[in-house]
Amino acid sequence: MPSPSGGIRPMPELKRLLPRFIAPLLVLAALVLGPAPGALAQSVGDTLAKFATDRFPDTARGVEEIARSGHPTALEIVEALGENRLAYSQADRSVYVIGKDDQVRSAETGAPVADIAPNQLRRVRINNPVRSAIAAALGALRLNSADPVQRRAAAEAIMQAHDADQAPALEAALGREKDARVATAISQALAALRIVDTKQPESVRLAAIDTLAERGDREALVMLRNVPAEAPAAIRQRAERAAAAVERRLSILGGVQNVFFGLSLGSVLLLAAIGLAITFGVMGIINMAHGEMVMLGAYTTFAVQEFLRTSAPGLFDWSLLFALPLAFLVAGGVGIGIERTIIRFLYGRPLETLLATWGVSLALQQAVRTIFGSSNREVGNPAFMTGSFDLFGISLTWSRMWIVVFTIAVFAFLLFVIRYTDYGLRMRAVVQNRAMAGSVGIRTNWIDALTFGLGSGIAGIAGVALSQIDNVSPNLGQGYIIDSFMVVVFGGVGSLWGTLVAALTLGIANKLLEPLAGAVLGKILILVFIILFIQKRPRGLFAQKGRTAES
């Protein structure tokens, strides 16, 4: 086992450089020489042997040496190591690259080896310091890649690795770079190196500060703060001013980002609460099993994904599309079942309804636990819902973004159904005056069942969305039930728009409070606020007026 002290101790002169940069820095220091003309003929046997010792410091050194060697398979070896496809034979310690197609090839020559199967070999293990070394090595090896995306990533890697010796390579790359975005990345990486390069004339260093200030993100801020104290006063001051400007910009962006976080939390709350706004808000049923409808939707997503994984893996990215109608039907069906068998006998008896639906929620949880097991189930994110993207310097995650869009769509759909469909009309009629609706020929008890089914079905499709950001476990629903009631009561019972405003208000308020007060205190403050608000306006934000309010 490698000992943790097996790493490199920072030399005094390196101490002001950041320790996180030291491992990649050594790799890059080695790389600056570039492929020497005679290197191709050189034997890399000793270097490759370092990959077969099963010690992390050796492996990191191996990465550094193989990248420096200019060996034709160097890039392939480093890439394979990063993807856990580099292996060695325990018998003779020779190193092999295992292709993505499981084809074993010699690491030294790249020639296919026919008589060895991948499972006879031991994979070379990597840890975080080795990963850093790989990233730095790839940065240098890929700077001349044909793919602009790789070149840009390479420039970023060099910028993070922060090594002055890499400057000539960057300058050369900048000279021949035609892609504007890659050129910007390279010039920023170059600027990061020039700021601390005492051999550069002052004007160049000042220009470098401006380049980084223009970049204006956290990475740039780190570089600007790194200007050593012994630098000339002009440079130091310009760097400090630039850092302050970047910080101001970041704090404004941070505020905007918090509002987006709030919107995103608000739309999750809305999604969870909107079904309840129908069952509780419109029908007046205190449905404690509402959270379990959300859970059923999430488990439906899991089941759909499992099915697609085994029978049609190509359709995996569409799994959520298949899951939506199914989740609606499953949760809606269970909802109608509960309404027909339990709730309809309890209309007008809120306390009994509360207890009965609470019992139903426990039964549903335990049923799911028995069928699917008590541990979390893995629901994958389709490709379009993974990762994040940059919008004017704010980094937004795709999953949250799509949930916001999805919530708006569900809300619009629900408004449409209630306002413009025949069923919606009947539902409003029953809610406003049951006796009158009945006497004009509306089957009120069927409308009740369908409305409860609609609310439950909406909760089910909320579960599809929530499965993307939360646990899929039998307890999924419990986490949302209190929040959902809070939103509906705060917004005003019976008002969909009230639910919307309440969810977004609570979401944004929560996210603005969280950085100031912490997550625990923030939540408490929100609760206290709602209690006070309900004291003042017991009917919530959008109180129902007129005759219907009394019923």
Partner 1 sequence: MRFTRRRFLGTTAAVAGMALAAPSIRAQGAPVKVGVLHSLSGTMAISETTLKDVMLMLIEEQNKKGGIMGRKLEAAVVDPASNWPLFAEKARELISTQKVAATFGCWTSVSRKSVLPVFEELNSILFYPVQYEGEESSKNVFYTGAAPNQQAIPAVDYLMSSEKVQRWVLAGTDYVYPRTTNRILEAYLKLKGVKPEDIMINYTPFGHSDWQTIVRQIKAFGSAGKKTAVVSTINGDANVPFYKELGNQGVAAKDIPVVAFSVGEEELAGIDTKPLVGHLAAWNYFMSVDAPENKDFIKKWQAFIKNPKRVTNDPMEAHVIGFNMWVKAVEKAGTFDAEAVIDAMVGVSVPNLTGGFSTMMPNHHITKPVLIGEIQADGQINTVWQTSGLVVGDEWSDYLEGSKDLISDWRKPMSCGNFNIKTGKCGGKA
CB of 359 to partner 1, least distance (A): 13
d(CA 180, CA 359): 63
Phi-psi region of 308 (alpha: psi -120 to 50; beta: other; left: phi over 0): alpha
Measured from the CB atom, the residue of 424 and 479 that comes closer to partner 1 is 479
Enumerate residues 6+ apart whose C-beta is below 8 A from 477: 289, 290, 291, 292, 293, 294, 295, 361, 365
CB of 411 to partner 1, least distance (A): 20
Measured from the CB atom, the residue of 129 and 492 that comes closer to partner 1 is 129
Measured from the CB atom, the residue of 291 and 453 that comes closer to partner 1 is 291
Measured from the CB atom, the residue of 128 and 203 that comes closer to partner 1 is 128
Q: DSSP states of 212-279 as a string? A: HHHH-SHHHHHHHHT--TTS-HHHHHHHHHHHHHHHHHHHHHHHHHHHHHHHHHHHHHHHHHHHHIII
CB of 235 to partner 1, least distance (A): 17
d(CA 212, CA 242): 8
d(CA 365, CA 387): 32
Question: What is the SS3 string spanning 417-481?
Answer: HHHHCHHHHHHHHHHHCHHHHHHCCCCHHHHHHHHHHHHHHHHHHHHHHHCCCCCECCCCCHHHH
Measured from the CB atom, the residue of 458 and 476 that comes closer to partner 1 is 476
CB of 409 to partner 1, least distance (A): 21
Measured from the CB atom, the residue of 388 and 439 that comes closer to partner 1 is 388
Angle, helices 422-432/444-466, rounded to nearest 10 degrees: 110
Measured from the CB atom, the residue of 135 and 182 that comes closer to partner 1 is 135
Task: Please state, as a whole number, how many other Cβ atoms lie within 10 Å of the Cβ of residue 237.
Answer: 13
CB of 129 to partner 1, least distance (A): 6
CB of 367 to partner 1, least distance (A): 11
CB of 238 to partner 1, least distance (A): 18
d(CA 106, CA 67): 17
Tokens in use for 84?
């856990």
d(CA 192, CA 317): 40
CB of 175 to partner 1, least distance (A): 30
Measured from the CB atom, the residue of 129 and 494 that comes closer to partner 1 is 129
CB of 448 to partner 1, least distance (A): 32
CB of 474 to partner 1, least distance (A): 7
Q: Which residues pair with 148 in a beta bridge?
A: none
Angle at the Cα of 201 from the Cα atoms of 165 and 15, rounded to 5 degrees: 45
Measured from the CB atom, the residue of 84 and 144 that comes closer to partner 1 is 84
Measured from the CB atom, the residue of 185 and 472 that comes closer to partner 1 is 472
Tokens in use for 497?
């728009």
CB of 100 to partner 1, least distance (A): 14
Angle, helices 128-142/148-161, rounded to nearest 10 degrees: 130
Measured from the CB atom, the residue of 4 and 37 that comes closer to partner 1 is 4
d(CA 424, CA 71): 72
Tokens in use for 200?
């550069």
Measured from the CB atom, the residue of 236 and 369 that comes closer to partner 1 is 369
Per the CB < 8 A criterion, the answer to whether 274 and 458 are in contact is: yes
Closest CA to 108 of 97, 122, 119, 100: 97
Measured from the CB atom, the residue of 59 and 353 that comes closer to partner 1 is 59
CB of 280 to partner 1, least distance (A): 22
Measured from the CB atom, the residue of 54 and 214 that comes closer to partner 1 is 54
CB of 374 to partner 1, least distance (A): 4
d(CA 87, CA 124): 5
Classified as helix, coil or strand, 338 is helix
Q: Which residues pair with 96 in a beta bridge?
A: 87, 106
CB of 102 to partner 1, least distance (A): 16
Closest CA to 235 of 284, 285, 279, 196: 196
